[in-house]
């Protein structure tokens, strides 16, 4: 996950302390019904079932987890529960996503052989994370060579690696083309320290998730070992020892299917039930993958159980709009669904995406309600923040005094205050697909960050807090139910939530010294979205209000672009980079924008939003100004160059 910009702690604490104890947006009776029925324990029991499976895309483990979720959804009374299947053959495209073949593994063992007894260094059976995703079958005995990072030719100088295993500090995918393709190594052993938080080096026993390039011309296998194991190997190699390892792998890609579980609570209004509020999560991940992301999967499953039960019992009115629940492979599954089922993309008015929402104190997690991108202003994020800030207030009052009307504490969970923060827009999960300009679906994003055990064998159910699951489910359920029944009668309450949200954003704007013009235009768009949502329309504000000038602009700065109808989706998806692939084919050098580091954003964020701001009205100069306001100043010529490249590969006209 990328870095996240947070509101100052003083604002968060003060906002929670000042919040009224009366719940926002929904009637107290509705809030009481949700708070009473939601169960962190039920959610965690479901999580304990999911984490048994190694849930890689298209795999037997993923299918088993999908069947479990579908069975629970049916048992809870959801309608039209299906496991949708779409070909994943490496050839079929879904918008910008080139489908990746399914990947399964049966065996992966790395042992040291030679003098003395054999010693196991990595075992797929014991820890599936030890075998890198997209590894291929192999059975060989050879020596190990330390190549440091292994990403440059200088790392191999004077080292004979042909037919041997290379030990690297980088992700297997990062060294695959060099080590395997250029120097013809036989395989990879990696101790890559991905997701470097403040805690990344304190436990050198962690085995971290690794992956190879799905579409590489040099397929191979790779094992992931702990930092402790790698250091011991390096020390021995440094003393001149020769280490002989035996690698045995039974694994590989094969034609399969993307599987997506979905079910609905049908809306009551004959017209509005054609509109949908979607709850989304990603079901795939290595075992155990408890917080990332079994937690999000069981949180929305608990939302489904609670809403369906309360509606069936008559304790909640059936909302006007349909509520849909979606469990999918991360990012690639969402791109696939919205392209393969365009009628769903057209019906979804807002989405609530949960990715890591259950981390207990041991994970060091901070819970975020993430704002949307400036290219898609919407009030839905303020709705989520209103509920989260109220939970902050209630949970803090309970933690501090032992008294609160709605502490939302699970009997088997912790009693700490939630302390959710309202974070600026960051990428890294399916919310970026919904909010891509191809689809324009506002998406609430609830997530934990940092997490000391993300992508490791220690991301276990033991670290998941039922209280946290209950609170995350409440924020999601309350937000989704409010949006599903939203009508003109709710406009005033929504505008009050927007006003509070704006106060929070103004603090960040002062911190960043954001120019008034783009900030005001964005806030106008957020305010306008309340009325347009009530009228079942998408609102983006008036782009003409964002026009600004800049002297001595480079050539092409006043060119206006329009996005073509296809392909749909972000240009960098999962396991496939649409832009890079088509740019190489067209002989286009990597644009400078992709490597740009701004004050609050990087090239991934700049390029994502640059495409989103293309609307047939803004000039390249105006888009550069928008990006500067959102992520920090950027030279206009970098934006011009990128947009021209997008035109060359057929994304813009």
Give the three-class secondary structure for 340: helix
Last residue of a domain, one of 207, 224, 254: 254
In a domain, 38, yes or no: yes
Q: What is the pLDDT of residue 518?
A: 82
If asked whether residues 85 and 114 sit together in one domain, one would say no
Whether residue 327 contacts residue 262, with contact meaning beta carbons closer than 8 Å, is answered with yes
If asked whether residues 396 and 344 sit together in one domain, one would say yes
Locate all alpha helices (DSSP H) within 24-126, ordered by sequence: 28-37, 40-50, 60-75
Note the maximum CA span of the chain.
79
Whether residue 397 contacts residue 652, with contact meaning beta carbons closer than 8 Å, is answered with no
If asked whether residues 436 and 391 sit together in one domain, one would say yes
Q: What is the pLDDT of residue 619?
A: 96
Dump pLDDT digits (tens) for 408-432: 999 999 999 999 999 999 999 999 9
In a domain, 522, yes or no: no
Q: What is the pLDDT of residue 510?
A: 77
Give the three-class secondary structure for 628: helix
Q: What does the alpha-carbon distance between residue 328 and residue 49 come to, in Å, rounded to a whole number?
A: 17
Last residue of a domain, one of 254, 276, 298: 254
Above pLDDT 90, what percent of the chain? 87
Locate all alpha helices (DSSP H) within 226-294, ordered by sequence: 227-238
Dump pLDDT digits (tens) for 394-409: 999 999 999 999 999 9
If asked whether residues 122 and 94 sit together in one domain, one would say no
Phi, psi of 503, rounded to the nearest 5 degrees: -60, -40
The confidence band for 652, taking pLDDT boundaries of 50, 70 and 90, is very high
In a domain, 422, yes or no: yes
Dump pLDDT digits (tens) for 176-202: 999 999 999 999 999 999 888 888 888
Q: For the chain, how big is the Rg over CA atoms in Å?
A: 25
Report, as an integer, the average pLDDT of 64-73.
Answer: 98
CATH number of the CATH domain containing 340: 3.40.630.10
Q: Which of 17-31, 295-309, 564-578 has the highest mean pLDDT?
A: 295-309
If asked whether residues 339 and 372 sit together in one domain, one would say yes
If asked whether residues 216 and 236 sit together in one domain, one would say yes
The confidence band for 554, taking pLDDT boundaries of 50, 70 and 90, is low
> Encoding tokens for residue 550?
């800049």
CATH number of the CATH domain containing 230: 3.50.30.30
How would you classify the pairing of strands 256-265 and 322-328? antiparallel
In a domain, 512, yes or no: no
Q: What is the pLDDT of residue 512?
A: 76
In a domain, 531, yes or no: no
Last residue of a domain, one of 487, 505, 523: 505
Which residues does residue 281 pair with via DSSP β-bridges, in sequence order?
327
Give the structural domain span for 639.
542-648
Above pLDDT 70, what percent of the chain? 94
Torsion 385-390-394-399 (CA) sign: positive
In a domain, 536, yes or no: no
Which residues does residue 257 pair with via DSSP β-bridges, in sequence order?
87
Report, as an integer, the average pLDDT of 274-292.
Answer: 97
If asked whether residues 121 and 148 sit together in one domain, one would say yes
Which residues does residue 140 pair with via DSSP β-bridges, in sequence order?
247
If asked whether residues 270 and 407 sit together in one domain, one would say yes
Q: What is the pLDDT of residue 385?
A: 98
Q: What is the pLDDT of residue 303?
A: 98
If asked whether residues 334 and 445 sit together in one domain, one would say yes
The confidence band for 536, taking pLDDT boundaries of 50, 70 and 90, is low
Q: What is the pLDDT of residue 485?
A: 97
Which residues does residue 422 pair with via DSSP β-bridges, in sequence order?
369
Q: Report the domain count for the chain.
A: 3
Residue 545 has pLDDT above 70, yes or no: no
């Amino acid at each position: 996950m990328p870095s996240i910009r947070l509101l100052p702690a003083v604002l968060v604490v003060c906002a929670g302390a000042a919040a009224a104890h009366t719940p926002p947006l929904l009637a107290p009776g509705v809030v009481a019904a949700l708070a009473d029925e939601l169960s962190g324990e039920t959610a965690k029991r479901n999580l304990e079932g999911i984490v048994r499976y190694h849930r890689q895309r298209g795999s037997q483990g993923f299918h088993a987890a999908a069947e479990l979720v579908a069975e629970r959804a049916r048992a809870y009374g959801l309608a039209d529960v299906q496991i949708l299947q779409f070909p994943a053959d490496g050839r079929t495209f879904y918008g910008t996503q080139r489908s990746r073949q399914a990947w399964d593994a049966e065996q992966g063992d790395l042992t040291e052989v030679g003098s003395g007894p054999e010693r196991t260094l990595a075992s797929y059976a014991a820890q599936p994370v030890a075998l890198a995703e997209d590894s291929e079958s192999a059975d060989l005995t050879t020596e190990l060579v330390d190549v440091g990072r292994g990403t440059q030719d200088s790392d191999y100088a004077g080292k004979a690696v042909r037919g041997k295993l290379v030990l690297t500090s980088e992700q297997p995918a990062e060294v695959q083309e060099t080590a395997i393709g250029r120097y013809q190594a036989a395989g990879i052993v990696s101790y890559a320290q991905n997701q470097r938080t403040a805690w990344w080096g304190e436990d050198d026993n962690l085995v971290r998730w690794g992956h190879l390039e799905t579409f590489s011309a040099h397929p191979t296998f790779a094992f992931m070992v702990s930092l402790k194991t790698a250091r011991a190997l390096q020390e021995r190699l440094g003393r001149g020892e020769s280490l002989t390892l035996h690698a045995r792998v039974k694994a590989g890609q094969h034609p399969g299917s993307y599987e997506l579980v979905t079910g609905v609570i049908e809306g009551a209004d004959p017209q509005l039930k054609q509109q949908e509020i979607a709850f989304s999560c990603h079901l795939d991940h290595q075992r155990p993958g408890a917080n990332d992301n079994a937690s999000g999967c069981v949180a929305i499953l608990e939302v489904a159980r609670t809403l369906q039960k309360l509606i069936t019992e008559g304790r909640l009115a059936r909302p006007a709009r349909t509520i849909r629940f979606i469990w999918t492979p991360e990012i690639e599954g969402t791109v696939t669904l919205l392209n393969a089922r365009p009628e769903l993309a057209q019906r979804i008015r807002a989405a609530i995406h949960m990715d890591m929402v259950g981390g207990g104190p041991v994970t060091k997690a901070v819970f975020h309600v993430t704002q949307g991108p400036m290219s898609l202003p919407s009030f839905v994020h303020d709705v989520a923040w209103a509920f989260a800030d109220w939970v902050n207030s209630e949970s803090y009052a309970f933690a501090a005094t032992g008294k609160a009307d709605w502490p939302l504490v699970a009997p088997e969970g912790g009693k700490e205050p939630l302390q959710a923060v309202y974070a600026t827009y960051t990428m890294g999960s399916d919310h970026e697909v919904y909010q891509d300009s191809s689809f324009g679906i506002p998406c609430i994003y609830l997530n934990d960050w940092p997490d000391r055990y993300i992508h490791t064998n220690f991301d276990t159910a033991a670290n998941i807090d039922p209280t946290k699951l209950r609170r995350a489910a409440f924020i999601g359920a309350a937000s989704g139910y409010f949006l599903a029944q939203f009508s003109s009668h709710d406009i005033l309450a929504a505008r009050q939530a927007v006003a509070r949200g704006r106060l929070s954003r103004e603090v960040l704007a002062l911190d960043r010294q954001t120019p008034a013009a783009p900030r005001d235009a964005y806030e106008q768009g957020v305010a306008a979205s309340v009325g347009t949502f009530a009228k079942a329309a998408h609102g983006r504000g008036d782009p003409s209000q964002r026009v600004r000038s800049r002297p001595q602009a480079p050539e092409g700065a006043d060119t206006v672009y329009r996005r073509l109808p296809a392909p749909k989706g972000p240009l960098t998806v999962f396991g496939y980079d649409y832009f890079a692939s088509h740019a190489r084919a067209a002989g286009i050098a990597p644009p400078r924008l992709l490597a740009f580091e701004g004050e609050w954003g990087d090239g991934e964020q700049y390029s994502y939003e640059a495409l989103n701001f293309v609307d047939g009205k803004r000039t390249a100069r105006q888009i550069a100004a928008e990006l500067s306001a959102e992520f920090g100043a950027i030279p206009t010529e970098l934006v011009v160059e990128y947009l021209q490249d997008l035109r060359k590969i057929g994304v813009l006209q």
